[in-house]
Amino acid sequence: MSRINTGSRVNFDTVANVLVIIPTHSNAETLPQALRSIQNQSFESLEVQIIADGASPEIIEIAQTFSMKDQRFHLQYHQKSVRRGEEHRHDSILSSPAQFITYLADDDLFLPHHVQYMVENLEGRDFANQRPTFINRHDHIWCMPTDISLESSRTWHLGQQVRNSISLSGVMHTKDSYLRLAEGWAPTPMSFPWTDLYMWQKFLRRDDFNFITTPRCTILKFLGGSNRYDEQKIEQNQRWFGEMQDPDWVQKWDQRVERCHQIASAEAFVQLTNS
């Protein structure tokens, strides 16, 4: 394993309250927008660890460029792991003094107030996830009306049938709660399809933790059939990034998300009463 750290080191004892972990491998076309969405955060007390898991030269070049220009950004390069470099996420959390840990996939986006919003919602709690909302490749908003503050929802995520509404990019948890787990990020068994759900289940099994699903969605999670974006999905990511720079856009997004969840909840109610 080799490790690259570029950029000057910040005094994180006084600055970095939040660690942002970005696992990356091959999405060089969307990584710049993801990193810019972190730079655009209203909350600035950040440490950003870009974990390149056997990543392409294009990924390394992009990450190095950001690291040289912004001292909060740091690049780690590792040889390709068995799964998705989960063990490197664990090491990053242990080595960071940040109180709060959050994540961003290299093909998703944070809205400008995301980190601040999540920190506020995590107060007095151990684990928070975003209101599950997704954008399909035709720009239609799709959602899952789940709430992990409810035991029934946590049980749903822990069932024998592998199901998940918790996006990697939509999670924030405290470092204290992470350290209280019997096991943190570790290589996921090959028989288990989703490495992030495998990690979230370790939290969800704890009956002494406090959970919340936020009432708003402050990320853009793009759905796709594969981890690598094609030209259509690359254009979609870049276009939505441009649109969200409009200050009035966030309010419109909140309204669309609220309407989507209202419809989904109504449809779920009808199905329940007819069953």
pLDDT of residue 53: 87
pLDDT of residue 225: 55
pLDDT of residue 267: 80
pLDDT band at 16 (very low <50, low <70, confident <90, very high): low
pLDDT digits (tens, 9 = 90+) for 82-113: 676 799 999 999 999 999 999 999 999 999 99
pLDDT of residue 152: 95
Q: In the chain, what are the domain boundaries?
A: 18-274
The residues facing 100 across adjacent strands are 18, 174
Query: What CATH superfamily classification does 18-274 receive?
Result: Spore Coat Polysaccharide Biosynthesis Protein SpsA; Chain A (3.90.550.10)
Cα–Cα separations (whole angstroms), residue 83 to 30, 50, 79, 192, 203: 21, 17, 11, 11, 20
Tokens of 244: 């969200």
Q: Is the pLDDT of residue 4 over 80?
A: no
pLDDT digits (tens, 9 = 90+) for 119-159: 999 999 999 999 999 999 889 999 998 999 999 999 999 99
Q: Is the pLDDT of residue 47 over 50?
A: yes
CA 215 to chain centre: 17
96-115: b (≥16 Cβ within 10 Å) or e? bebebbbbbbbbbbbbbbbb
Question: pTM of the entire structure?
Answer: 0.90
